[in-house]
Amino acid sequence: MSSTDKEGENSQAERPVPESSLPHPNDAPDDPRPLSLDDVGVKFQFCIAAVGQLEQERDELIRELTLLREPSFEAVRSAHEEVLQAFGQKARAELERDALQEEVRTVRCKLFSVTREYVTCQFQLENQREELKEKQIQRGDLETLASRLAEDLTQLRTAFVEQREGSQQQLRSLPTRHTSHAIQDRRRLSAELQSLTAEQHSSLEDQYEPRLFRLLEHSERGAAALRVAQEELQKQRDELRPLQGEACKLRVQMNSLQEQIVLLKRKREEEIHLYREQIQELEDSRREMKITVQLQQQQNKELEDLRRSLAHELAIYKGCLEIYGQLFKSVTKKE
């Protein structure tokens, strides 16, 4: 009897709850006399009340543990959702950045192609301008040659007229007796002059006519080439205008896209900074939650220790009840 009471007192000393809150069967006055049926009934009622109170405390502790766990689970769920949202925002920003980079790459390719065509057209235009200058120089040379040939022809005509007039003057000044001789001489001189004129004319034709024909053909070809070059130049100018407009539009578009990229980079940096701050906050929250979980685990351990202590006390009370039952049976048998 005394050893059982000592174990009950030791178990009650280990409990965190006060001993005065629980009734104990040893609260009844010690009596060396055999217990009566009424005393056993009183102690039995005390034990039943103590067991009921212990069960209530157990239920209350379980309820407190459940209430303590719910905020932790809710905080973990909220932190997980925030992390998922941050990752989703980061993925969307990266997709937008990749799309804009691809668009900028396309615009740069178009701009490079248009610039290359523009440079090609400018090169062709410069070549045609050089050819046009050469044609103009050749045309000036041809005009100079034609002027010189016209002057030579005029001089020949003037010399022929002067020679003819001189011959006529000589014929007029001759005497009458020499008229027949003069006529013959005049005819001879006229024939010689015609022969000389024909020879000079023939030599001039042989010398200058092929050159004139070649110059005329060259001039005609130059004029035709000049017309073709001017038409081609006008055509290239007409084709160059929309290319210049498109190049200007592409430059404006590229500048706009570059500004958008700068804004996106700035926005992405801000989002990364915000994301890091959120990660830091989540890390701090995780540490706090870890500390809270550790505290809850410690509280759970204390509650488990309390539950074990209560179970031990219940076992002691059950042992006491069994002892009281045996005593009650022995007393009834003696009576």
For residue range 165-218, list pLDDT tens digits in order: 777 777 666 555 455 666 676 677 777 777 777 777 777 677 767 777 777 787
User: What's the chain's average pLDDT?
Assistant: 74
> Is pLDDT above 70 for 297?
yes
d(CA 263, CA 257): 10
> Is pLDDT above 70 for 24?
no
> Is pLDDT above 70 for 3?
no
The sign of the torsion formed by the CA atoms of 131, 137, 141, 144 equals positive
Q: Do 25 and 43 meet the contact criterion of CB atoms below 8 Å apart? A: yes
Residue 97 one-letter amino acid: R
What is residue 61's predicted lDDT score, i.e. its pLDDT?
Answer: 80
What is residue 8's predicted lDDT score, i.e. its pLDDT?
Answer: 40
SS3 assignment, position 297 = helix
| The two structure tokens encoding residue 117 | 């065509």
> What percent of the chain lies above the pLDDT cut of 70?
79
What is residue 169's predicted lDDT score, i.e. its pLDDT?
Answer: 76
The sign of the torsion formed by the CA atoms of 92, 94, 98, 104 equals positive
More confident of the two residues 174 and 222: 222
> Is pLDDT above 60 for 25?
no
Alpha-carbon Rg for the chain in angstroms: 65
How many CA atoms, within 13 angstroms, populate the side-chain half-sphere of residue 182? Answer: 13
Kindly report the length of the chain: 335
